[in-house]
Amino acid sequence: MAPSKTQIAIVGGGVAGLVTATLLHRHGMDVRLYEQTPVFGAVGAGIQLSLRS
Ligand SMILES: Cc1cc2nc3c(=O)[nH]c(=O)nc-3n(C[C@H](O)[C@H](O)[C@H](O)COP(=O)(O)OP(=O)(O)OC[C@H]3O[C@@H](n4cnc5c(N)ncnc54)[C@H](O)[C@@H]3O)c2cc1C
How many A from CA of 14 to the centre of ligand 1?
5
What's the confidence (pLDDT) of residue 1? 57
For ligand 1, pick from 33, 36, 39, 47 the residue to mutate: most ligand atoms within 8 Å of CB. 36
Q: Are 40 and 19 in contact (CB under 8 A)?
A: no
What's the confidence (pLDDT) of residue 44? 78
What's the confidence (pLDDT) of residue 3? 55
Residue spans per domain, the chain: 7-37
Name the 3-class secondary structure at 31.
Answer: strand
For residue 44, give every residue at least 6 positions away whose Cβ sits within 8 Å of its Cβ, in sequence order, or none.
none
Q: Give bridge partners of residue 11 from the DSSP assignment.
A: 34
Q: Are strands 7-11 and 30-34 parallel, antiparallel or unpaired?
A: parallel
Q: Distance of CA 14 to CAs 5, 19, 37, 38, 41, Å?
A: 25, 8, 10, 13, 11
Specify the higher pLDDT residue, 23 or 45.
23
pLDDT at 53 over 70: yes
Q: Could you read off the pLDDT of 12-27 as tens digits, one per residue? A: 999 899 999 999 999 9
pLDDT at 5 over 90: no
How many A from CA of 25 to the centre of ligand 1?
21
